[in-house]
Every structure is written in C-alpha cells, then in structure tokens.
Amino acid sequence: MRALLPRPLIWTLAAMAATTASLPLTGCSPGAETEEVNLYSARQENLIAPLLEQFTDETGIEVNLVTGSADALLQRLRQEGRNSPADVFITVDAGRLHQAHAAGVLQAIESETLEDNIPERYRDPDGEWFGLSMRARPIMYHRDRVDPAELSTYEALTDEQWEGRICIRSSDNVYNQSLVASMIASEGADAAQAWVDGLVPNLARRPQGGDRDQIRALADGVCDVAVANTYYLGLMLEGDGRDRDVAEQIGVFWPNQDDRGTHVNVSGAGVTAHAPNRDNAIRLIEYLSSAEAQEWYAEANQEYPIRDDVPTSEILADLGDFISDDIDLYVLGKNNAEAVRIMDRGGWR
C-alpha cells in the first residue's frame, strides 16, 4: 500500500459539540453533491484512517471524519435531523446498527456491489446497513489450568465445575447483549434465561472492564475461562510487552460446534437519512467492502473479513477454523430489548 498522508480534516466529537447542530462540515449548499463525504465513525481513528486515505487517493473524494462513541454519534444524528452534515455512519455490533435503523437516522440504498460483496446474513434486509468486518466471541481459557476437553458449549458454562471460574464483562455491554440475543434467536427466550441464570453464579468476580481485561484476568489467575471477542486477543498477540505475554497464555475454544455454532457479530456502515453527498457515501461503503479494504481490515485490526474470498490474518488463522452461527444478524438488534430484560432478571450486572 502507498504511503498515506494526513487527512485534510479530522474533527473530534468534542470539537463538534462547540458548533451549532445545523452547521455543515463544509460550506457547501444543502443538497449539493461535492467531491467529499462526511463520515461519523464509532471506530477508532487509527483503525479506519488508512482506508479513508486510500479511498481518497483512488477516487479524489475527500473524507471528513468525525469520531466518537457510538451512543454519542447516534444521539447527534437524532438531534441534527435534516440538518445533519453526516453522509455515512459506522459503528460496531449489529445491535447498534439496528438501533440506528430503528431511530430513523439511516436510509435504504440499493447497490449491486454491496449485494455481491457482502453475504445476505451480514446486512440489513431493508438495505439500511451493511457489515464490513466480522468478529467471533468464543470461550477463552488459561492453557495451564483448563483442559480444552472440559469445554463444549456456552450452555455448559453453567455447570457446577465452573463455579467461581468465569470472567465476562457487564450486561450493559452490547457484545454480551448480542450474545444473549443470538441465543434467543436460536434456542428461545426460556433457554436464554436459563443460561443467564446459571452463568451469573459461576462468575469469578463482579463484571468489570473490557474484553482485554477479561483476558488479563485469565493470566492473573482471577478466573480460568472467559468470553471475549477474538480481535482483542489477536491485537494482543500482535503487540509486544505484557499484553503479548498474557495473550500467549490463552487458548481459544470454539463452542457449539456440534449444533448452532460460535456467536459472531459485525461492524458495519449505513448511509444517513439526509446525506448531502449520497452518491459519494455509497461509493465509500462499496470501497470498504472491496477485497483490498477487507484484507487491510483483516491484517490491521485482526478481524475476520466479511468476504469469503479474502483470507484471514495469520494470527487469526492460527486460532483455528470454526463453524459460526448462521442467524441473520439483524435479528440481534430485534432481540436486544428482550436480551437486556433477561440479563436484568438473571442478576447480570
């Protein structure tokens, strides 16, 4: 890939908060198509900036990037309404993508390129959002304290042998909400409730921290097994220092390989409801689904490509092949509210 130059314009969410909600990112008149595209992204800048630069190099379309938390950006889109300068919204987790859909801040688009590049189950059936990268949420274990032959399914984590031995982050984390939502889709609400009710007593500590913290807790002896997204472990293995030492102590077990498969989720993007540069927005999302962009994602962020014709990174390949659950991921968003209620009833805090 060619050397990449700094983008012409990068705003932080804090800087945007100082402006009025109706102020466009640039001085173009409303509704006018220009050679630019305005992107609201919940992905960290370093995880997407090189792709945006490459897109500009290839198309001449400048990308104006706004980064912030998914919740803050979604709220901003709601508040800005028709006056929003945003053309594209990128966030992680199908649950959050569904929230954007339900909030009416996205619009349906038709693109043969996106339909060809992205499998149907990784995109919204109404054409409002499209998955761009995939992550799995398997069981992880400490190699010295757990024999992988002891592991089998997510449901088996409720067995007595795991009492006080499991780490997982809190119930307000959308990754865990989507995991429960996937169980509702596959097994029904009663089975999902039974799993939560059985999992909570087996936790080694009150849920705290992010996925990296669960992996570190394994190495520190706080717990013996954890549930976490693969890309966190991949980035730790790719790094150096303590995080790499920690990650090398951890094994990955792919649960439910004899039935519904391991839970997977996506990051994705959609064109905003009032995009002033709609055509450019579609071109950007199409580019992010290209083989070139998918390969970069796979290597730079240790995520699985959406496309079957793009190889995974060497690090993820070393974790082994697995069968993923095959539900349509828009269902994760539809089941989110029920998943949250189930987790609350089960005392998952």
- Beta carbons within 8 Å of 260's beta carbon, 6+ residues apart: 186, 187, 325, 326
| 3-state DSSP of 1-53 | CCCCCCCCCEEEHHHHHCCCCCCCCCCCCCCCCCCEEEEEECCCHHHCHHHHH
- Residue 34: the pLDDT is 61
Helix boundaries (H) for the chain: 13-17, 49-59, 70-80, 94-103, 112-117, 174-187, 189-199, 211-219, 230-238, 241-247, 278-288, 291-301, 314-317, 330-334, 336-345
- Residue 29: the pLDDT is 42
Confidence of residue 45 (pLDDT cuts 50, 70, 90): confident
- Residue 126: the pLDDT is 95
In tens, the pLDDT along 99-155 reads 999 999 999 999 999 999 999 999 999 999 999 999 999 999 999 999 999 999 999
- Residue 27: the pLDDT is 37
Lowest mean pLDDT among 29-38, 119-128, 146-155, 208-217: 29-38
pLDDT at 271 over 50: yes
> Is the fold of 10-134+265-313 the same as that of 136-263+317-345?
yes
Higher-pLDDT residue of 1 and 66 is: 66
Which neighbouring-strand residues pair with 226? 140, 167
pLDDT at 33 over 70: no
**Among candidates 156, 185, 172, which has minimal Cα distance to 258?**
156
Please compute the mean of the pLDDT values over residues 92-99 and round it to a whole number: 93
Three-point CA angle 333, 337, 340, nearest 5°: 115
What CATH superfamily classification does 10-134+265-313 receive?
Answer: Periplasmic binding protein-like II (3.40.190.10)
Q: What percent of the chain has pLDDT over 70?
A: 90
**Among candidates 322, 264, 336, which has minimal Cα distance to 99?**
336
Higher-pLDDT residue of 7 and 63 is: 63
Please compute the mean of the pLDDT values over residues 298-320 and round it to a whole number: 94
- Residue 9: the pLDDT is 35
Confidence of residue 6 (pLDDT cuts 50, 70, 90): very low
- Residue 168: the pLDDT is 98
Confidence of residue 44 (pLDDT cuts 50, 70, 90): confident
Q: Is 125 exposed, middle or buried (0-12, 13-18, 19+ CB in 10 A)?
A: exposed
Alpha-carbon span 253 to 138, nearest angstrom: 6
End-to-end Cα separation, the chain, in angstroms: 45
Alpha-carbon span 89 to 111, nearest angstrom: 17
- Residue 240: the pLDDT is 87
In tens, the pLDDT along 178-198 reads 999 999 999 999 999 999 999
Alpha-carbon span 23 to 32, nearest angstrom: 15
- Residue 46: the pLDDT is 83
CATH topology of domain 136-263+317-345: D-Maltodextrin-Binding Protein; domain 2 (3.40.190)
When the pLDDT of each residue in the chain is averaged and rounded to a whole number, the result is 91
pLDDT at 220 over 60: yes
Domain map (residue ranges) of the chain: 10-134+265-313, 136-263+317-345
Please compute the mean of the pLDDT values over residues 230-248 and round it to a whole number: 95
